[in-house]
Amino acid sequence: MPRPEYLVIITGLSGSGKSYVQSTLEDVGFYCSDNLPIALIEPFLEEVGEHENADRVGIVVDVRTHDFANVFPTFYRERIQKLVPHVVLIFLEASDEVLARRYSETRRPHPLAKDQPLIDAIASERDALTEVKSLANMVLDTSQFSVHELKAEVMRRFELKDEKVTMLVTIVTFGFKYAMPYNVDLLFDVRFLPNPHFVESLRPKTGLDPEVVAYLKAQPGYDVFYGKLLDFVTYLLPEYQKEMKSYLTIGIGCTGGKHRSVAIGQRLADDLAARGYAIEIVHRDCKR
């Protein structure tokens, strides 16, 4: 049957971070599925084997699947390892105290805690998965990892550290009088600059017009401000990339979102693009 060349199976204790490992693999191009019943794994692999650009696949399987601890070891040895040329089994775990704290913080129920206290459910799952753990190529104790550290560790273990996870930087220019944009990571208010709106010849134009750009560049302090803005943003972007952030939104606002914010936002977008960043620019209120 057609099948992917490379398969990563992610399993382990509930609350140990399996979904974060899955998202890390997705970020570097893996085709992933979560909570796949064991009976559907082979049909799933056959299906994705037909897909273009799906030669690397990740699957999360765990005790949410009925009788997982008893069925999976034999299935893995006798079927999966013979079907896929390259398969890696990752087993995630953490201390009882850390797992209990994570469930307390998220307020999600443990899949085995229906008829027993949480700490007993964690112990039961750990004991039940002993054989599954013994099959793993990679065992990760996530007790001391933050979300970002776990992702970095997975990248390191899979030697993916040289693959760049592209961060898309979206710059949104806007007018404060029309409300701030939703979900902005960095916000800059440029209303301190003289407003071209009060220059009659510039009023119908926008910050994309060279006359408005020239007017702003002629203002005292404009070049100093922009230099500091560019330095600040270019300092921060690599730090966000270290945290494996996929999207970053920068808001730049002035009164009406037509002149000052547009000119500065467009200049910033051009300068960041010239430095190799993936940039999207949205002039939200420019045509109002």
Q: What is the DSSP string of 80-101?
A: IHHH-SEEEEEEEE--HHHHHH
Q: What residues form DSSP beta bridges with 9?
A: 59, 89
- Give backbone dihedrals phi and psi of 12, rounded to 5 degrees, phi first: 135, -165
Whether residue 182 is predicted with pLDDT greater than 70 in this model: the reply is yes
Residues 12-35 have pLDDT tens digits of 999 999 998 998 888 888 889 999
Mean pLDDT of the region 86-109: 88
Higher pLDDT, 244 or 104: 104
Higher pLDDT, 155 or 117: 117
* The pLDDT of residue 69: 93
Residue 172: exposed, middle, or buried by beta-carbon count in 10 A (0-12, 13-18, 19+)?
buried
Residue 187 has what DSSP assignment? E
Q: How far apart are CA 241 and CA 164, in angstroms?
A: 9
Whether residue 101 is predicted with pLDDT greater than 80 in this model: the reply is yes
Q: How far apart are CA 80 and CA 103, in angstroms?
A: 32
The rounded percent of the chain whose pLDDT value lies above 70 is 95
Q: What is the mean pLDDT of the chain?
A: 89
Superfamily the domain 6-157 falls into? P-loop containing nucleotide triphosphate hydrolases (3.40.50.300)
* The pLDDT of residue 51: 76
Q: How many CB atoms within 10 Å of residue 227?
A: 10
Single pTM value for the model: 0.59
* The pLDDT of residue 2: 60
* The pLDDT of residue 163: 47
Whether residue 265 is predicted with pLDDT greater than 90 in this model: the reply is yes
Domain boundaries, the chain: 6-157, 168-283
* The pLDDT of residue 189: 97
The rounded percent of the chain whose pLDDT value lies above 90 is 60
DSSP H helical ranges for 108-209: 118-128, 130-134, 147-157
Mean pLDDT of the region 85-96: 92
Whether residue 187 is predicted with pLDDT greater than 80 in this model: the reply is yes
- Amino acid (1-letter code) at residue 65: T
- Range of lowest pLDDT (63-67, 93-97, 145-149, 180-184): 145-149
